[in-house]
Amino acid sequence: MFRTRNRGYWPWESLGEHIARLNNEFSRAISHGMRESERSFPAFNIWSNAEGAILNAELPGVKVEDIELTVSGNVVAIKGNRKNSIAGSDKYVRRERQEGEFIRTFELPFQVDPEKVVAKSAKGILRLELPRAEADKPRKIAVRSA
Amino acid sequence: MDTANKYEVKENQNPSAKEEVAVPEGVERLESRKAFVPSVDIIDNEERTVLIADMPGVDEDCIDVLLEKNVLTIKGRPKSDDFPGRQQVYSEYVEGDFERAFTVAEGVDRDNITANISEGVLTVVIPKMRQATRRIAVGQGEKS
């Protein structure tokens, strides 16, 4: 029996084979979706109130000095490089940790005051304090009856 | 608040997914907090094996490195972030514990394993024993 290997669909295959093939494709699609390199790195969480936002990013092993932070209007960008050090006779037995350059850009729903941005890191978590620009804050207007 | 729901990531990437610790079939976790498998690098040379694990939020006060028989277990329990007066408006990672276990080969110098954590990265150095077997030269001689 011959078959065309490079074709996705072969109408004469048995139902069992057909299901097995679909399963394979399905799990391949899932594992592809979960591939390490496809994850957003670093991952972040944001807390907010009327005064501004706090952004935490999981960045183990990266010092705050090694991060390039750009704030422009309501857009914040975090750029950096996570290098792994490996000496001459060392060999990798396992290599799962994210490495290399990363950049993540985030759009906030308000203008950030770039002068007041604070960046610090502790225990491998980067924290950005992003205060809302005064001019951008909503103002309460007293309503008087005429 | 007028701006609560408009946070958006500009690039199109999949959200980060930490892998949860698997429990044996029929067993459930007692704790409500999730436990995740930390990403690791393992590097090796003739003298030692080094295990490097990403455990963001973990420091020396909330980590355990245990060696029991030939299983090395690393566990970290970071504190949760809490910002009173603020609401979480966007999330890509879930805070939780880190747990992972490794089998350690024979011929490891169990008494001299060292562990260190810095900036959320755990490094465990596992030295190897000096070769215990000695090669014995076999000479050629007359039969007695």
A3-26 residue pLDDT tens: 434 444 444 444 555 555 555 554
- Give the residue carrying structure tokens 């699609």: A29
Q: What is the per-residue pLDDT for B10?
A: 52
CA dist list (Å): A30 to A42, A98, B26: 21, 20, 25
Whether residue B41 has pLDDT greater than 90? yes
Q: What are the extents of the domains in chain B?
A: 35-80+88-127
Q: Once rounded to an integer, what is the mean pLDDT over residues A97-103? A: 90
Inter-chain residue contact A46 with B7, CB threshold 8 Å: yes
Q: What is the per-residue pLDDT for A83?
A: 84
* A75 chain-B contacts, CB cut-off 8 A: 10
pTM value surpassing 0.80: no
Q: Once rounded to an integer, what is the mean pLDDT over residues B58-66? A: 95
Q: What is the per-residue pLDDT for B6?
A: 59
Q: Which residues, 6 or more positions from B98, have their beta carbon under 8 angstroms from its beta carbon?
A: B35, B36, B37, B38, B53, B55, B58, B74, B75, B76, B78
Chain mean pLDDT for chain A: 79
Percent of the residues in chain A that have a pLDDT greater than 90, as a whole number: 47
Q: What is the per-residue pLDDT for A10?
A: 43
Distance (Å) from the C-alpha of residue B49 to the closest C-alpha of chain A?
A: 9
For residue B110, report the phi and psi dihedrals to the nearest 5 degrees. Answer: -60, -30
Q: Which residue of B has its CA nearest to A127?
A: B81
The better pLDDT of the pair B24, B98 is held by B98
- With cut-offs at 50, 70 and 90, classify the pLDDT of residue B68: very high
Query: Which CATH number among 2.40.50.100, 2.60.40.790, 3.40.1360.10, 2.40.420.20 corresponds to the domain B35-80+88-127?
Result: 2.60.40.790
Whether residue B15 has pLDDT greater than 60? no
- With cut-offs at 50, 70 and 90, classify the pLDDT of residue B40: very high
Which one-letter amino acid corresponds to residue A77?
A: A
Whether residue A58 has pLDDT greater than 90? yes
Distance of CA A38 to the CA centre of its chain: 9
Q: What is the per-residue pLDDT for A136?
A: 84
Structure tokens at B94: 């879930």
Quick one: which H or E segment has residue A18? helix A15-33
Q: Are the C-beta atoms of B78 and B55 separated by less than 8 Å?
A: yes
Whether residue A54 has pLDDT greater than 90? yes
How far apart are alpha carbons A129 and A56 in whole angstroms? 9
Closest partner CB to B56 (pick from A63, A86, A123): A123
How far apart are alpha carbons A80 and A68 in whole angstroms? 6
